[in-house]
Structures are given as C-alpha cells and as structure tokens.
C-alpha cells in the first residue's frame, strides 16, 4: 500500500528505516508525544520487526512511514492498531 500526494510518499515501514526513525523518535521534543522512545537503533529495529506485514490483522500494529518527496527524507510514521 503506497500512497502519493504532491508533497508526500506514504508506505509501509521497512527495516532500512531504522536510522531515520531513531533520529526523530529519540528527539526529546518529539518523543513527548510517542509511546516508543528508543534508546538505541536496535530498539527501533526490534520495533519494526514486531509490526505486522499485513493490514487488518486483529491485535497487531501496521506501521507506515511518511517521506517528504522533494528531499526524500523520512519525516514521520503512522501506526494503525487493529
């Protein structure tokens, strides 16, 4: 499930996203609003590995990342719990 707008590209999370996710989720201002506050990149890798690869599976999380198309920068993520 890939979604495109003029400004954004939204797609399922991939293991290669761990460094980008760690960068903003470990920021003290950002993590005030998040449940996962990683201390290491391995924490993020573990988080990614536990997310469902399929949408709409009861009791799981499906994680998407938000990428700014102009800069190709990962700027956020969206978790959907079923």
CATH of the domain at 23: 3.40.630.30
Write out pLDDT tens, residues 27-66.
878 777 777 788 999 999 999 999 999 999 999 999 999 9
* pTM of the complete model beyond 0.95: no
Q: Which token pair is 28?
A: 């003290």
Distance (Å, rounded) from C-alpha 32 to C-alpha 42? Answer: 20
State how many domains the chain has.
1
Helix, strand, or coil (residue 38): coil
pLDDT at 81 over 80: yes
Is beta strand 61-68 parallel, antiparallel or unpaired with respect to 3-4? unpaired
Q: Which domain holds residue 30?
A: 3-81
Residue 30 has a pLDDT of 79
């Amino acid at each position: 499930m890939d979604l495109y707008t003029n400004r954004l590209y939204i797609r399922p999370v991939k293991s290669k996203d761990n460094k980008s996710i760690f960068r903003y989720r470990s920021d003290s201002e950002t993590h005030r609003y998040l449940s996962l506050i990683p201390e290491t990149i391995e924490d993020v890798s573990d988080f990614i590995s536990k997310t469902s690869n399929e949408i709409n599976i009861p009791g799981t999380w499906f994680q998407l990342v938000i990428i700014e198309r102009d800069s190709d920068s990962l700027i956020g993520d969206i978790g959907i719990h079923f």
